Amino acid sequence: MSKLILVRHGQSQWNAENRFTGWVDVPLSEKGRTEAREGGERLAAEGIRVDRAYTSTLQRAIDTGRIVLDALGQTDLEQIQAWELNERFYGALTGRNKAQTAEEFGDEQVHVWRRSYDVPPPGGESLKDTTARTLPYFRAEVVPATREVDVVLVAAHGNSLRAIVKDLDDISDEEITQLEIPTGVPIVYEMADGKPVDKRIVDG
């Protein structure tokens, strides 16, 4: 048995401003740094020690992983960075305020762009597109790691983690539209031979 820990990065500056972020390299807000630290402290309270850590190439995820590892007293553990774990690309919506976008295009259309499985925003990626690049990497690199070491950490983004959780939990295309991954809250899977056998959320 091994542990796979998924952590969505803490609140970013653009999360705080209610803007579509995607691939823009926006830093964590102070609240986001606190969320990451508190998530790491809850793992530390359980005596967890990470053997291998993965993150995206975007700073908000890298910093979240680093803060979690620092809370575990593992300041020297290097994180493996992979662009395949990056957030979905929002295309023409990138940088726009979500409320203003809803006023312009309507709540229903923006909800479809944000939450549907296979409808992309203009010039951007759908969750299906994000899944097509995230899952092959996850299955080729991260899942084998859970067979090799005891604890694997993945610090990434709302949509790349939705793609991973969809696969691990066998969630349908329809049901995934309802899934929200909270910021800074560790999700711990117990893994056996590369398959999840238990899941819990470490939220204090």
Question: Nearest to residue 52, comparing CAs of 152, 138, 192?
Answer: 152
Q: What per-residue confidence (pLDDT) applies to 41? A: 98
CB 48 within 8 A of CB 72: yes
* Catalytic annotation, residues: 9, 87
Q: Which amino acid type is present at position 185?
A: V
Distance CA(146)–CA(197), nearest Å, equals 13
Burial grade of 22 (CB within 10 A; 0-12, 13-18, 19 or more): buried
List the one residue out of 54, 69, 61 whose CA is nearest residue 32. Answer: 61
Query: What does the alpha-carbon distance between residue 158 and residue 58 come to, in Å, rounded to a whole number?
Result: 13
Main-chain phi, psi angles of 139, to 5 degrees: -70, -30
Sequence-separated (6 or more) residues with CB below 8 Å from residue 12: 21, 26, 27, 28, 29, 32, 60
Structural domains of the chain sorted by starting position, each given as residue range(s) with its CATH number in brackets: 2-148+167-201 (3.40.50.1240)
Yes or no: say if 36 and 28 are a contact pair by the CB < 8 Å rule: yes
Positions of the chain with pLDDT lower than 50, given as ranges: none
What pLDDT is recorded for position 204?
73
Which residues are bridge partners to 183 per DSSP?
8
pLDDT at 149: 98
Give me the torsion for CA of 199, 202, 203, 204, rounded to 10°.
Answer: 140
Phi, psi angles (nearest 5°) of residue 74: -115, 60
Q: What angle do CA 126, 58, 133 make, to 5 degrees?
A: 35
Residue 15 has a pLDDT of 95
